[in-house]
A and B are shown apart, each in its own frame.
Chain A
Amino acid sequence: MSVATREVTAGETQTIVAARRLRDTKTVFIGVGRPSTAAILARMVHNPELILVYESGTIGAKPFHIPLSIGDGELAQTADSIVSVPEMFNYWIGAGRIDVAFLGAAQIDKHANLNSTVIGEYEHPKTRLPGAGGAPEIAASCGEVIVIAPHAKRTFVEQLDFITTVGHGDGPGSRERLGFRGRGPTAVITDLGVLEPDPETCELVLTEIHPGVEVDKVREETGWDLKVADDLRTTEPPTDEELSALRELLDR
């Protein structure tokens, strides 16, 4: 069986859909894990000119392997420029030089606000998560944000336990009132489909569903009454080229 004919996993579809979003992007800011894999895949298949920017200060990194950490040596060795952390956040992120940022979270609400701080009360958390890292300012200042998260009820919640990162706040006008310059989350890519904010209400709406996934399943895994777009699309299945490239990358 050739690499491309093995059954496609939900995670592979999620990564491939994220990579497609970077077809016309100039600069992308990424953390490790699936976002990094998607961005490297995008450079391989869709957009060889794509500039990868990692929080560690590596601008224009061209990793051959998927890095474990945002500061792996290969990122520094292949970067166009390496800058300090204050410079990264002030001159590059804060100044709005990055087009797209990929972010993850432990919890997301219907306005695409994110929690990566605690589950439970802040003072006595049930689960202490790593915390904000760069996310609040990345989400405020990058041109747009794409959230990549597993679609599960414990992740897609009615009410966040802690607002670590503002997406669309309380809805329309929130970002403007807070003085944010980026457009905020434009898509949430999950292993079940894609959610996009409604232009009027800023509420996340299911606009795309991955092949073989039922809408009821998506609703079941969402902790609020999920709206579904009238023109719900089915994700174009991964092509042989995308799948082969992704599997080859993961095997390196």
Chain B
Amino acid sequence: MAEMLSLSDAIAELVSDGDSVALEGFTHLIPFAAGHEIIRQGRRDLELIRMTPDLLYDQMIGMGIVRRLVFSYGGNPGVGGLHRFRDAIEHDWPRAVEIEEHSHAGMANRYAAGAAGLPCAVMRGYVGTDLMSHTTVAPITCPFTGERLTAVPALNPDVAIVHAQEADRDGNVQLWGIPGVQKEAVLASQRSLVTVERIVDELEPRPGGIVIPGWVITAVAEAPGGSRPSYSLGITDRDNDFYKFWDKMSRDRDQFTAWMNENVLGLANR
């Protein structure tokens, strides 16, 4: 059964300097509160893995705690670019970040292989692109048909962190709405933390609900509003205005730093 911890205890216990950490959530259910707690606790030299770095990784990169980034789309969805991500790659500010980039299909298959305990996944993709020579994929031939396909290596992060709507007191978790790759990320990782909007006595079945049993989760922490400015369907709304605000504010290093000091470092943990 998952351990029921406070968010600060969970981060202290699960995330160490230098770890590879996947905070997942595809536009929906992004674990902002957990990411902020990692920043507050001063973790450093992290390898961050995430299909869409989004504002959360923009913040973590801008705070200088990221050594390496594995991703497939580093944009502010529907708004534009990620300025801290760009500044780190273009100007090494506040430090150089090594990157490994993939396509979405590649990342999704890498997580699925990791969840299945396979060394790689086989897919159609990457061929003909310049990505092929800048990332870790390899051609493979189907032994049955002879078709040329692409193999992508499994992803097995040290820690997966995802956000969900609910958990029960045994740490069984239910999420609904856009499911992203959260289940795959949890099952692919050595350790996992699920932050939830609320803890309930009993999980009520939801249409399209995905239940992750507590016995494959390391820890569950309550973090109401923990996906803001992303959202938790049915409980909080996506703060689209914040995504637009971020585009303007985060262009400037000093403004960014001041904002993080005031709104992340300056807040007590939840």
Contact = CB atoms under 8 A, between A and B. Distances in A.
A238 interface: no
Interface string A127-161: 11111111111001100000000000000000000
Contact of B177 (A69, A82, A164): A82
A67 B78 CA distance: 8
A162 B178 contact: no
A163 B177 contact: no
Contact of B111 (A55, A86, A128, A141): A86
Interface string A16-58: 0000000000000000110000000000000000000001111
B191 to A, nearest CB: 21
B27 interface: yes
11 contacts: A56-B28, A68-B238, A70-B27, A71-B77, A77-B233, A94-B123, A128-B81, A133-B72, A134-B73, A137-B104, A164-B129
A173 interface: no
Interface string B102-119: 111100110110000000
A178 B147 CA distance: 11
A164 B127 contact: no
B128 A169 contact: yes
B103 A134 contact: yes
Contact of A132 (B89, B124, B131, B147): B131
Interface string B57-100: 00000000000000111110111011001100110000000000
Contacts of B77: 32, 68-71
Interface stretch (B180-188, B193-201, B253-261): B180-188
Q: Chain B interface residue count: which class?
A: 35 or more
A38 B178 CA distance: 23
Interface size class of A (residues with CB under 8 A): 35 or more
A76 to B, nearest CB: 5
Contacts of B147: 179
B82 A84 contact: no
A165 interface: yes
Given A57-B178, A89-B104, A130 B74 contact: yes
Interface string B214-255: 000000000000000001010001101001100000000000
A137 B105 CA distance: 7
A133 B108 contact: no
A32 B27 CA distance: 13
Interface in A74-119: 75-77, 81-86, 88-90, 93-94, 117
A73 interface: yes
Given A57-B178, A70-B77, A76-B178, A135 B238 contact: no
B109 A89 contact: yes
B51 interface: yes
A136 B130 CA distance: 11
Contacts of B81: 128-130
B138 to A, nearest CB: 15
Contacts of A234: none
A32 to B, nearest CB: 4
A165 B130 CA distance: 9
Contacts of A126: 90
Interface of B: 26-28, 51-52, 71-75, 77-79, 81-82, 85-86, 89-90, 101-105, 108-109, 111-112, 123-131, 134, 147-148, 177-181, 183-184, 208, 231, 233, 237-238, 240, 243-244
B73 A131 contact: yes
A128 B85 contact: yes
A64 interface: no
B131 A136 contact: yes
Nearest to A94: B124
> Which residue of A89, A127, A130, A179 has the most chain B CB atoms within 10 A of its CB atom?
A130
A232 B109 CA distance: 44
A234 B129 CA distance: 35
B166 to A, nearest CB: 16
Contacts of B244: 68
A166 interface: yes
Given A56-B26, A85-B181, A133 B128 contact: no
Given A69-B27, A73-B177, A85-B26, A128 B74 contact: yes
Contacts of A82: 177-179, 208
B127 A134 contact: no
A112 B71 CA distance: 25
A122 interface: yes
A220 interface: no
B109 A86 contact: yes
A134 B71 CA distance: 12
A122 to B, nearest CB: 6
Given A73-B177, A136-B129, A178-B128, 7 more contacts: A68-B79, A76-B178, A128-B85, A131-B75, A136-B103, A164-B129, A179-B127
